[in-house]
Structure 1
């Protein structure tokens, strides 16, 4: 293994370890010693790549945003409302399995007043939802007098709620089924009763990248 490859592996371990700890303990509840211990590296190795915890947050957010971008691109050509439904299910899957995405949400929830990079993934998620809903309105998919900004806020609240459920570890919580039920409740007001059957609240099961 070359020195460059070893360095890249070390950086990746640090980012992953920081994400796991931020997910479990929050930004303030995690210190540099915790990160180096979990990553199995020295503080010198950490400071070679990152000068502060904020830079680790930035790296985590970059990876989460890139993952979101890939998922959005995979839905190109899908009807905008169905794409949004599918994207919320994809996000739910990430929240259940990916500490990187969970950490992105948690640091945003805890450090929103600090702006970037803490809010980067949340801003990207909001932008993706806004773009899809704007397209849905332009394509005539939404019911009359629907406020796109209001729906975006609702979708964001739904996402934060999903993250809280995943973080709580409550037994017997099937978040996928719950999300589908929420869409069943939400769709008549969003698209109108006559168009509800056009959409699949459980997600359309298109292959969206999970990694």
Structure 2
């Protein structure tokens, strides 16, 4: 793809994310998206068949957007992913669009490709690594726990949006981990996990797990 075409595609995705975040799937029109992007309808249909295709692209891209600033493995990696997501949810249009689209996904994406399934797979990979590192208690059901993490974070995001405009979402995500770590972490593991803004944003302070 030529550079100009890549820029146009990126502008369309960004504009669509902003419009979806503001108005949801049903309230977003193709003309409003192209106006926001500053491109023609012809350019839009060259890159995307319809509004549904744009929404699918945004939902599918969600895990790729979240990249923790610090390297980690296993359980710390999963904690960092959730914390990075929580901080980016404060101002990242693509993630905000994904949150707004979550209740409309049946209109444009299959159950096998929805964002919950994607995030559960990401969580399961980190948990499998944690198991291989000896960080998990015996008998932890990795697929079930991965789904629980996704469901808990989704619920935290919804309540944070209603109650604080998402300002306290990072705190809510940390609280989830404080509650569940004792149930899944092997001996001595929970105490080694690090929380704080630095795990989701660079140049911030560290803090260990609450007792």
TM-score range, shorter chain: 0.7 to 0.9
Deviation at 1:90, TM superposition (A): 0.9
Other-structure match for 2:153 = 159
TM-score, normalised with respect to structure 1: 0.78
| Structure 2: unaligned runs, 5 residues or longer | 203-211
Contact 1:96 1:166 in 2 (8 A): no
How far apart in 2 are the matches of 1:82 and 1:128? 13
The 1:153/1:65 distance shift into structure 2, 3 A limit, reads: closer
The 1:25/1:203 distance shift into structure 2, 3 A limit, reads: same
Contact 1:92 1:162 in 2 (8 A): no
Other-structure match for 2:54 = 56
Q: Does 1:187 align with 2:181?
A: yes
How far apart in 2 are the matches of 1:156 and 1:93? 16
Deviation at 1:72, TM superposition (A): 7.2
How far apart in 2 are the matches of 1:203 and 1:134? 25
Alignment of 1:10-29 (within 5 A): 10-29=8-27
Deviation at 1:155, TM superposition (A): 0.6
**Structure 1 stretch displaced more, 180-189 or 111-120:** 111-120
Contact 1:102 1:163 in 2 (8 A): no
Deviation at 1:165, TM superposition (A): 4.1
How far apart in 1 are the matches of 2:115 and 2:52? 14
Contact 2:137 2:185 in 1 (8 A): yes
The 1:185/1:201 distance shift into structure 2, 3 A limit, reads: farther
The structure 1 segments of at least 4 consecutive aligned residues displaced by more than 4 Å after TM superposition are none
| Count, aligned residues | 201
CA distances 1:51-89 after superposition (whole Å, capped 9, x unpaired): 201221233235434334xx37974xx341111111110
TM-score, normalised with respect to structure 2: 0.78
Aligned residues: CA RMSD? 3.1
The 1:44/1:118 distance shift into structure 2, 3 A limit, reads: farther
How far apart in 2 are the matches of 1:148 and 1:73? 25
Secondary structure class of the residue paired with 1:146? coil
Other-structure match for 2:122 = 128
| Structure 1: unaligned runs, 5 residues or longer | none
Deviation at 1:171, TM superposition (A): 5.3
The 1:143/1:117 distance shift into structure 2, 3 A limit, reads: closer
The 1:58/1:173 distance shift into structure 2, 3 A limit, reads: closer
Contact 2:73 2:130 in 1 (8 A): yes
Secondary structure class of the residue paired with 1:27? helix
